[in-house]
A and B are shown apart, each in its own frame.
Chain A
Amino acid sequence: MLQQAFIETLTMVGASTAIAAVCGLPLGLILACTASGHILEQPVINRILGAVINVGRSIPFIILMVAVIPFTRFVVGTSIGTTAAIVPLSIAAIPFVARLVESAVFEIDRGVIEAAQSMGSSPWQIIWKVLIPEARPALVLGLTITTVNLVGYSAMAGAIGGGGLGDLAIRYGYQRFRADVMLQTVVLLVILVQALQTLGDWASRKLSRR
């Protein structure tokens, strides 16, 4: 039972992190590159995208989860279960990742980008050869934070039928007064978060050449 729930949590977190990374990275890059004074300065696009992302980030996850039910049903055919929970989790994480990517890119020294421009790099080459590699340690850290947050969110998603450790804790630990189950899930969550953070820190350090 515990093992099943653990696998469900990992599935939800893993899949939504992957989706959020795949969608959030380009969005974050667009957000950063279209900012004023950057390589593809586009104030209008920047402002619109920024506003949309802010809206996404300001909706509480509980409400988002319910609000996107029709969309979830459209995408995965059902609104309950582990697979269905991945949809709201991803949607919640995408704007978060986009902002993290944006700030990771802003942290790169302007001089380095300028040096690349002085050598005749195209914007595309700058994105691939400068921005992404130089931001990589910060991106890994950002992704770690995202994953850890998603562990927390996934517990909430579990409460509305998504399965996973959160679901287990509520159904057995809370509603059926199984303190032992509650304790086990909490310990498992703590270990999971610790492990993810340690792994992320290690990977980021490994990538950083500073």
Chain B
Amino acid sequence: MIQLKGISKTFSGAKAVHALNNVHLHIPAGKIFGIIGPSGAGKSTLLRCINLLETPDQGEVWVDNVRLDTLSPKELRRARQKMGMIFQHFNLLSSRTVAENVAFPLEIAKVDPAQRRLAVAELLELVGLSDKANAYPAQLSGGQKQRVGIARALANKPRVLLCDEATSALDPETTKSVLQLLKSINEQFNLTIVVITHEMSVIQEICDLVAVLEHGTVQEWGPVVEVFTRPQAQATKRMLRGTFAANIPPELLDRPSQSRGPRRLLKLSFVGDRAHQPIISHMVQNYKVDANILFGRIDQMKDLPFGMLVLELVGDEERLSQAVSFLESQQVELEVLA
């Protein structure tokens, strides 16, 4: 759906900033694609290159099989009407009511007034703000403002929705509900959504795919579960640290064992259905080893459960190796720590 080919962007100034360096990305249709990275990584610049709010110095921007960076200003404006965008600070027009804000893109696209009214009513219904149609943005909460932003972005039935830190100004509760709204819109309209954020939890909750951006370079990208369970890049590992199941408190590894004799320290990661299956109890019953759970947690990644356990196995050598090979055969991610 969206293809970025070798995008580079440098901001000149007192000190030139290389915001993006040769970025390649393919964002498939109908997916929620997350771009995560620390502040200053170039996320906003990258997102703004997709609708050409920022003109890349190099590279090609393709959306829906149209190359955008070579369009005339007029053609580009038409193309933008089919791309919605929402912002961290909502960017609503303070002089317009909620309904008038949602009508704005329809006016821009020269939709006739009668149709506009119908569309606005429908959009407000979709985001649950029908009762606020005549309120002004200043009278709304942050979450409500972002809902107006979403309704406005969807007005011209875009193929793509670009979200720049859309929940970063919201409290956790509101963030959840806005993310759920985005997710349901994605499912309902098969809309391609690009989400940029510095928050792991946003990626975790709604994204199918993720790209990790740092210093203007894509460090790695792929399905969220893959990238988060088997991080390759240092940037990803650093970001995952402490956030969830990928990490073990270091004290655990240093603690002397309570039991004497042979033992194994294992780290198991489960994804999806495996997280529900009683693998551990099978192992304990079949191989007659003792298992102490030293640490464990289960997180949810979009619709997939994702868990991690640190186990200490105690028993004789032979049984221990059998137990370990059993676990290895179980399609769980296994790491022998000690």
Contacts and interface: CB of A to CB of B under 8 A. Distances in A.
A207 B136 CA distance: 12
B95 A209 contact: yes
Interface of A: 109, 111-112, 114-122, 125, 129-130, 133-134, 136, 207, 209-210
A115 to B, nearest CB: 4
A119 B53 contact: no
Most buried by B among A112, A119, A129: A119
A115 B91 contact: yes
B176 interface: no
A209 B53 contact: no
B95 A118 contact: no
Contacts of B305: none
A141 to B, nearest CB: 15
Interface string B95-108: 11000000011011
B49 to A, nearest CB: 12
A118 B136 contact: no
Contacts of B77: 120-122
Contacts of B109: 120
Contacts of B138: 209-210
Contacts of B76: 120
Contacts of A114: 53, 87, 91
Q: Binding site of B, secondary structure by majority: helix, strand, loop or mixed?
A: mixed
A204 to B, nearest CB: 12
B137 interface: yes
Contacts of A117: 53, 80
Contact of B104 (A111, A129, A207): A129
Given A121-B77, A121-B108, A122-B77, A115 B96 contact: no
Contact of A120 (B78, B89, B91): B78
Contact of B85 (A118, A130, A133, A209): A118
A125 B93 CA distance: 14
A118 B51 contact: yes
A210 B93 CA distance: 10
B2 interface: no
7 A-B pairs with least C-beta separation: A120-B80, A115-B91, A120-B81, A111-B91, A118-B85, A209-B136, A120-B77
A209 B138 CA distance: 7
B93 to A, nearest CB: 6
A210 B136 CA distance: 8
Contacts of B107: 125, 129
A121 B108 CA distance: 6
B240 interface: no
B80 A133 contact: no
A133 B104 contact: no
B53 A112 contact: no
B137 A119 contact: no
B84 to A, nearest CB: 8
Interface in B64-89: 74, 76-81, 83-85, 87, 89
